[in-house]
Each structure stands twice: as C-alpha cells, then as structure tokens.
C-alpha cells in the first residue's frame, strides 16, 4: 500500500521492533486489502483499533459473504482464547479443577475422546481449542477463505458451544483471571454478542451474565 505522498507502507513487524510498536501501521479499507486473508486482517484491524467497540467489530461490511464472516470471527475468537488458557494455567490444574464445571450445576464432557468423558478443566480447555483449530483448518470442510459451503457453516455452532465453556469455567471458578482478561480484550462480551447476533447458541446456554449486566432491567435475566 502507498501513502498519498508516494511512500510505501510495509505491513510487517520488522526484526527488532519493540512490542509497543507492533502493528503500528495505518488502517486500510477492506476493499483495498488484496489478499485471501483480507477478512481476517480487517477483523484484527478493528480489534486493534478499539477492542471495546464490539458492535463495530461485528458489523459485517456490505457484500461480504456471511459464512466467511462468521468463520473468520470464530477463528479469531479461538486464537485469542489461547491467551485466556495461558493465564488459567496459573490457577487451573488437574488437581484443583478435576472437572470442567461452571457453577455446581454444569459439568461438561470432553468431546476430544472416542467416547465423550470428563476431563480436568485445563485439559478440556486445551483439547477444545486444539479440536476447534483442527476443524477450522480442515481442508475437507474449509478449503477456502473466500467462499464456504453452507454445510460447513453449520458446524460453527457446535464449536461455539464448546469454546464458550472456557469462558463460563473462568467466570465462575477463576473470576479474577476472567475479569483481568476481559478488561483488556472484551472477548467474552464480543463472543456473546456474536453468537446471539448470528443465532449460533441458545440464550439458555449463555450463562455468563454479559447481556444481563448490559441490557437487562432489574430482576430480568438473559442467561
């Protein structure tokens, strides 16, 4: 990309770049992004600009394929959730959290095994993110980043349900870690709005009270 004065912008972090200067290049309109990864780059650009502006980040550009838009957002969620998983390792271990739970009412079975079974919460987190990465990078279901078959798009809902459990475990059992991560990333806010906007999860499964805190009147619940 070239600036108005003719200078070329290199959108790459050069060797020796300090962390505070990472990705400090100007924004670029989606229609000017000449890459098969344009949608991913555009989403990341919006997040970098202001992670709290959830509505803007989730607003799909005109003429954008909805299946690709949902797919790229889910890929981005899974990438960012690895950051929460790393923080959880400080407190969440097979000895402290022997099951993947959220409150005393929800116990989740891990689908990474031949027959779904209970896993320690941190193992469930790793298995779920690994499984999501394998599916979302599958050449069988997602061979293209610019066009996705509807039969493949239907698989996104099950991924959403499984990765959401990482948020719920963190919220109910590691609240300080959850709050610190959320204050920086707004990731659970964005994910909750995303799955609600595109009907990828039922409201009764959204047990982290994000919508309730933002929108509900006293006495109401969105969970």
Question: How do residues 4-37 score in pLDDT, each as one tens digit?
Answer: 444 566 666 778 777 766 666 666 777 666 777 8
Q: Residue 197 to residues 66, 193, 216: CA-CA distances in angstroms?
A: 12, 6, 17
Predicted TM-score (pTM) of the model is: 0.84
Annotated binding residues for Zn(2+), as ranges? 92, 97, 169, 174
Whether residue 121 is contained in a domain is answered as yes
Whether residue 114 is contained in a domain is answered as yes
Q: H or E element: which one contains 87?
A: helix 66-88
Whether residue 55 is contained in a domain is answered as no
Count of domains forming the chain: 1
Whether residue 104 is contained in a domain is answered as yes
Whether residue 39 is contained in a domain is answered as no
Whether residue 8 is contained in a domain is answered as no
30 versus 210: which is more confidently predicted? 210
Whether residue 98 is contained in a domain is answered as yes
Annotated binding residues, as ranges? 92, 97, 169, 174
By residue range, what is the domain housing residue 163? 77-208
Helix (H, G, I), strand (E, B) or coil at 37: coil
CB-facing half-sphere around the CA of 112: CA atoms within 13 A: 20
Q: What is the CATH number of the domain that holds 105?
A: 1.20.140.30
Backbone angles phi, psi at 102, to 5 degrees: -145, 110
Q: Convert the pLDDT of each residue in 123-137 to its tens digit.
A: 999 999 999 999 999
Tokens of 78: 């899974």
Whether residue 193 is contained in a domain is answered as yes
Cα 135 to Cα 124: distance, rounded to the nearest angstrom: 16
């Amino acid at each position: 990309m070239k600036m108005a004065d003719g200078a070329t912008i290199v959108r790459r972090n050069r060797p020796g770049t300090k962390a505070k200067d990472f990705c400090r290049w100007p924004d670029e309109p989606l229609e000017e992004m000449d890459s098969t990864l344009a949608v991913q780059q555009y989403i990341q650009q919006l997040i970098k600009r202001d992670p709290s502006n959830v509505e803007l980040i989730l607003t799909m550009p005109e003429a954008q394929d909805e299946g690709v838009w949902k797919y790229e957002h889910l890929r981005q969620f899974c990438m960012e959730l690895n950051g929460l998983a790393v923080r959880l390792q400080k407190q969440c271990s097979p000895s402290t959290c022997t099951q993947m739970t959220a409150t005393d009412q929800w116990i989740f079975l891990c689908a990474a095994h031949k027959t779904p079974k209970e896993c320690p919460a941190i193992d469930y987190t790793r298995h779920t993110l690994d499984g999501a990465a394998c599916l979302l990078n599958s050449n069988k279901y997602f061979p293209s980043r610019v066009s996705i078959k509807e039969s493949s798009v239907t698989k996104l809902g099950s991924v959403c349900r499984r990765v959401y459990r990482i948020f719920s475990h963190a919220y109910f059992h590691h609240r300080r870690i959850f709050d610190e991560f959320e204050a920086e990333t707004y990731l659970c806010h964005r994910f909750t709005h995303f799955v609600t906007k595109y009907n990828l999860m039922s409201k009764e499964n959204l047990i982290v009270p994000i919508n309730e805190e933002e929108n509900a009147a006293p006495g109401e619940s969105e969970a």
